[in-house]
Amino acid sequence: MHRGWPVSEMAAHAAHPPGFAHQFETVEQQREAGTLGMWIFLATEILFFGGMFTSYIIYRALHLPSFVMGSHELIVKFGATNTAVLICSSLTMALSIRTAQTGGSKRKIIFWLILTMILGAAFLAIKLRYEWYRDYTEGLIPGVSWLPGGTHTPGVKMFMCFYFFMTGLHALHMVVGLGILTVLVLMTARNRFSSEYYAPLEISGLYWHFVDIVWIFLFPLLYLIGGRYPGS
């Protein structure tokens, strides 16, 4: 018996599903508190990315021809492929949450979570192997492998700085997301979720969808300047 807990409170606490924190009165109250906390965190992320996007838009307007040249150094099909990969990962993340909500088996939840992780890892692999590595060999990374001369004007160098800074921060958020998904898989394997309690899945899904949405903005802003298309 927990010292200081009335018998009625102990009975009510025992009736709650695994993962329920005793400081909340109901599971719904705990879910709402967690969701509010995540939305507040995402609001700070919006402010952070918003400043970055604003700076990009200002310099793009001031140096549009150079930004067009810099954009044409990127391979659109890789950016488009990664966009499709992240959209699919948002679907699999939503399916994992839906499976928990409907009382599906933990194997199904784990399946959708691992599939989401595979898609997230595929995004990072494409970015590292087929984009950043190529940019390195082509001498397009300012301060690392930049090759001056030719079409690599100061304005193009500025564009590439924005490109690596913006996509690098996005990739960092993807790595954090994969870490969160790993924890969710472990929690699911330990039977922490049910149709009554799935708040961590739902809250983590908000983060994952946010990261995907950021990329949906990054793709056209970086890859499609000057009327380019995925086949170019």
For the chain, domain boundaries: 24-223
pLDDT given for residue 30 in this prediction: 72
C-alpha span between 99 and 195 (Å, rounded): 8
Indicate the DSSP class of residue 198. Answer: -
Residue 181 near residue 120, CB atoms below 8 Å: yes
- What is the four-CA torsion angle of 118, 123, 126, 129, rounded to 10 degrees? -80
pTM: 0.83
Query: Where does 24-223 sit in CATH, by number?
Result: 1.20.120.80
pLDDT given for residue 229 in this prediction: 57
pLDDT given for residue 8 in this prediction: 43
Nearest by Cα to 80 from 121, 138, 130: 130
C-alpha span between 80 and 207 (Å, rounded): 22
pLDDT given for residue 1 in this prediction: 40
pLDDT given for residue 170 in this prediction: 97
- pLDDT, averaged per 10 consecutive residues of the chain (232 residues), comes to 43 52 67 82 92 94 92 93 97 96 94 98 96 90 72 79 96 97 95 87 95 96 78 52
